[in-house]
Amino acid sequence: MDLKLLDAVATREERDAVAGFAGGGRDRLLPALHAVNDRVGWISQGALNLICETLHVPPADAYGVATFYSLFALEERPERVVHVCTDLACRLKGSDTVCDVLTEHVGAAGKARGGVTWLRSPCLGVCERAPAALTFQAGDPATAELL
Under the binding rule (CB under 6 A), the answer on residue 30 touching ligand FES is: no
Q: Which is nearer to ligand FES, 13 or 100 (CB)?
A: 100
36 binds ligand FES (CB under 6 A): no
Contact with ligand FES (CB under 6 A) among 32, 62, 130, 138: 130
- Chain positions 77 to 116 lying near ligand FES, rule: CB under 6 A, are 85, 87-90
Q: Does 71 bind ligand FES (CB under 6 A)?
A: no
Tell whether residue 124 is a contact of ligand FES (CB under 6 A).
yes
Per-residue three-class SS string for the chain: CCCCCCCCCCCHHHHHHHHHHCCCCHHHHHHHHHHHHHHHCCCCHHHHHHHHHHHCCCHHHHHHHHHHCCCCCCCCCCCEEEEEECCHHHHHCCHHHHHHHHHHHCCCCCCCECCEEEEEECCCCCHHHCCCEEEEECCCCCEEEEC
Pick from 5, 65, 106, 127: which binds ligand FES (CB under 6 A)? 127
Would you tell me which residues interact with ligand FES (CB under 6 A)? 85, 87-90, 123-124, 126-127, 130, 132
